[in-house]
Structure formats: C-alpha cells, structure tokens
Amino acid sequence: MFRIFAVLAIFVCQTLGASAQNPAGPITAKSGMVVCVSPPAAEVGVKILKKGGTAVDAAVAVAFAEAVTHPQAGNIGGGGFMLVYPGDSREPVFFDYRERAPLKISADTLAQEKDMLNHRAVGVPGTVRGMELAHKKFGKLPWKDLLLPAVKLAEEGFLIEKSLASALNSYVARSKSFAGFQKYFAKPDGTKWQEKDRLVQKDLAITLNAIATQGAEGFYAGKVAELIVAEMARGKGLITLEDLKAYEAKERQPLHSSYRGYDIIGSPPVSSGGTAIIEMLNILENYDLKKMGRWSPEANHLIIESMRRAFRDRAEFLGDPDFNTINPELITKSYGKKLAGQIDLSKATPSLSLAGNIDVQKESKQTTHFSIVDASGMAVSNTYTLEETFGSRIVVDGAGFLLNNEMGDFNTKPGVTNTYGRIGTKPNLIQPGKRMLSSMSPTIVAQNGHAVLVTGSPGGRTIINTTLNVILNVIDFDMDVQAAVNAPRSHQQWLPDTVSFERSSNPEFLSMIESLKKMGHTIKWENSQGDAHSIWIDPKSHLRYAGVDTRIEGKGAGY
C-alpha cells in the first residue's frame, strides 16, 4: 500500500546505527521513532527510548526539552493533550491537561479586551501536571531522568535553528512593551539572533530543576508558584495560589470510531478535534474518494462540505464536558450518513444556511505537535500550546518561562457569533475552573490491535483539518507518510464562508481550484497550514516511517 517516493530534501535524522540526512523519502527505524519540530528535542526523545524508556517517557522528555528549544509553543506555562495507544491489548488513554479559567472570573470579564496579550488572558497552566499524570500511568524511567536533559539545554544553552532565530528577532522587535520578554529573549549584546547562536536560559533551568527534583509540586507550589502569583499581581492577572493548588490534569476515555477498516482513536471534549474529525470521516465514508482522485474537484468539494458541517456543529455543541452534556449523536455513522445526504454534489452550501438556531450577527496561532512510537509498539500523539506564538509574551520574572494566553479560546463575548468567525454560543462561555474549547487533535489510527498512524498538528482551528488531510492522504489516496505530510492542505471552518488552500503548481491541483470556484466556493491562499509531524508503522514489517513536516522546522530520530 505504501510506496516510498522521492521528495524534496528535508532535514531529518535516521539513527539506524549512525545519523544521516535522508532526502529520499520517509526515514525508517526498526524499534523507536520520535518526530517533532525541534531537532534537539528529537535527540533527547530517542535517547530516552534507547535507554529502555516507554513512548510516554520519551514524550515527557521531549515536552520539557521543547519548553527550552521551541519557546514559540513548547511550554510549561501552557497546556494540551496526550493520546496514548499502549498496545498489548490495553485500552487507549487520553490525558487532558488543558488550561483552566481562574476561579475569580466571570463570563464577560474579557468581553472588552482588544487583544489577549495581557495577564488577564492567562489560563491556569496544565502541562506539568499532565506530564506527571501520564508518567505515573505509563512511565518506566525515573521522572528526574526525563527532566535533566531539558535542565542541561537551558543551563548550558543550545545552538538555535534558523526558524527560532527568525521568530525571536521578529517578536523581540514587536514586543518592546513586554519587559520580561526583552529580558529573557532579546540577544544580550543587542544585535539580532543568528542561526547557530547559543540561547542560554538560566532561570528556566532552575525552574526545570525544581520540577525534576520535586515533581509537579515544584511548579504548583513553593517558590515557582509564588513567582507566578507575583507576576499576576504585576499585571492585574487573576491566577492565585488557590488556582495553582486546585489544578488537576484529567484522564479521559478517547473517542473511538472506524473508517474504511481502520480504527480511529481521537480526542474527546474539551478538544473539539476528535469529534469533528470523526464526524467528517463518517460523512466521507459514504463516497469513493479514492476513485475520484486526490485533486479532483469532486473529492475536494466533498471534503470541504464535510468540514463546513462539522465546524458548524462544533460551534453549537462543544465545550468542557465537566460543564456541558455533549451530544453523542455527532460521532454516529447514522448522523454522518444523514449529513452526507444533505450535500449538493454540484455546488457549495452557503454556510449561513446551516446556522439553524445559532444567531449569527453580520459585521461591517502557535501550537506544536509530536509523535512517538517505542520498541513495544506503544504510541503517543501529543499536542500542546501557549495559544499564540510565544503565548501572552509574558515571562514569569525569576522563573524564566512564558505564560499562555489561552483565555481567548473561550467564547469571550456571550451571544456574539458573526460571519468573521467569532463564536458566542453557550457551551464555551467562560466559567470559573472551566477548560476552554480546543482544536488540538492528537490522533492515532490503528488496525488489528496495532497503531499504524500517529498524527496531529498545530494551527488553531486549522489543526482539525490538517489532521484530516493527513488521514485522508494515507488511507484514501495511498500516500506514504512523508508524501501525506508534504501535500498541500485545505481548510473550511463554517464561518467565515471561505476555503483556504496551500499553494501548489501542480496543473491538476490548479484545475481543481478553478472548478471549485465555479461550484461557488470562495478560495483564499495560505502560504502554510500546520506542522503535522507523523509516524506510520507498517502492519507487516513493523518498520516505523517518519513523516517530518518542515513547514517550520523538523526532525525524525529513530533506532
């Protein structure tokens, strides 16, 4: 099924005895594989696997390493989700470490905020608790051993990649009013960052060492917690010691479905990703996409229409399951077939015609994903975030880490849903202690009791559709995992009523775009969508194939 095609040269690493660049296609490994945006973090992860660590051990090490080496999104001041497929006939587990709203907040607290780059936009961080919870259930190596590589990277520094140098220069220039950001991320001599410069983060090393030696309590209590609260006080933020003490990561049951003979294991609410992806797959299963062809207007029209309907339902029904009853019909085959029957095969459906009881008013992103598979077949799909690039741009003084601005993922203006994409429906309104709705979609596809595809992406609401694109490319269109990751992506989110595509010079692709326009789709172009670091595990040979996404930076490391 999977053919290895030549692709453009990409920076990847194959560790089958020795490291080497491999521009020829997906890189392979016999035992363990780590694929992520940060090359130093990938190396940390594969070393943990070689020491006998589980995929979860490696995930913990990669997550903390990326808090150092990929500060745009890697974090201890944010939150996210980890999906674990243990193998050995054990049930998959989903760890929800999404941020929570502070206890001293109300539904309209942020309604008048012009942006979310302030202390009031910070949600209670969940990453450290989430990593600890996953490690307690599936870890094998000592916790401290998983943290020390990140401590070393922060204490001694590391040589930065071109993408990080560019991001630092850009955000230092536009963040003059953020004293902490300037203190910790402006180059000490005042010049611009260059590729191969060394970034040293001494205060972050001290914080990470506290977590290494004390566990999550080294973050949620004691000196680090006091520094967080002091930072909140400086900017009139809302997080208190009580918020930090009360924060809990949750172990939830993943969503399960099937698609063309494969098992789909997806993210449950408060992620909207699993619900939306399963709903879209249930619609598309009613059509022979493979026969139509990847760049046919017929297939892409159906993909767009499935996206439109899933995102419409996302707006009405989804939010924190601890505060809402989630409609179980959304992921049923019968509901997917019903929606499929409503699609006009010849023309686009106007999004507003699907609004129903959602009152739509007319008006005149940074996350990171990594995938890991260990020698036993345990697979981890992890997506975590600070929300925007470098989050709120607020650094906890004395602790050296960035805080999120996730409160903007709530529906901050109750009742206000508009054609520009703002959603104001009840399930995702702000409430004290509530988790904000997320699009993060760590996903695992399995067959006959074994994981075969581990995928996910950053990108705000585009995360869901980036992940869908990768799944369809592999299952319906017979692409190898690297080709599936490389292929141009599409996105439709109900409102605004437009379809975005990554650019391609492929004549068949360009012809498809013109046909979609004639069908009534409004097309816009995006230079880049997502960063879907994925792994394919061949069900016959059990070789691991890395799909490294170089839209930002990327590396696959295996053995």
98 annotated binding-site participant = yes
Per-residue pLDDT of the chain (559 residues; tens, 9 = 90+): 333 222 222 233 333 222 222 344 788 999 999 999 999 999 999 999 999 999 999 999 999 999 999 999 999 999 999 999 999 999 999 999 999 999 999 999 999 998 999 999 999 999 999 999 999 999 999 999 999 999 999 999 999 999 999 999 999 999 999 999 999 999 999 999 999 999 999 999 999 999 999 999 999 999 999 999 999 999 999 999 999 999 999 999 999 999 999 999 999 999 999 999 999 999 999 999 999 999 999 999 999 999 999 999 999 999 999 999 999 999 999 999 999 999 999 999 999 999 998 988 764 367 999 999 999 999 999 999 999 999 999 999 999 999 999 999 999 999 888 888 789 899 999 999 999 999 999 999 999 999 999 999 999 999 999 999 999 999 999 999 999 999 999 999 999 999 999 999 999 999 999 999 999 999 999 999 999 999 999 999 999 999 999 999 999 999 9
Burial string for 471-505 (b: 16+ CB within 10 Å, else e) reads bbbbbbbebbbbbbbbbbbbbbbbbebebbbbeee
* Sheet of 33-36, strands arranged across: 250-252, 93-97, 79-85, 379-387, 366-373, 33-36, 555-558
Q: Where in the chain is the domain with CATH 1.10.246.130?
A: 254-366+440-550
Nearest Cα neighbor of 384 from 369, 364, 404 is: 369
Q: Could you count the other beta carbons within 10 Å of the beta carbon of residue 346?
A: 10
Are 81 and 93 within 8 A, CB to CB? no
Are 384 and 457 within 8 A, CB to CB? no
Paired strand residues for 170: none
Q: What is the DSSP letter of 436?
A: P
Q: Is 191 annotated in the active site? A: no
Burial string for 63-79 (b: 16+ CB within 10 Å, else e) reads bbbbbbbbbbbbbbbbb
Paired strand residues for 371: 35, 381
Nearest Cα neighbor of 19 from 38, 48, 49, 46 is: 46
Domain 254-366+440-550 indexed as CATH 1.10.246.130:
yes
Measured CA distances, 466 to 310, 352, 365, 401, 505 (Å): 14, 24, 14, 29, 20
Of 367, 368, 443, 455, which is the active-site residue? 367
Predicted structure pTM score: 0.94
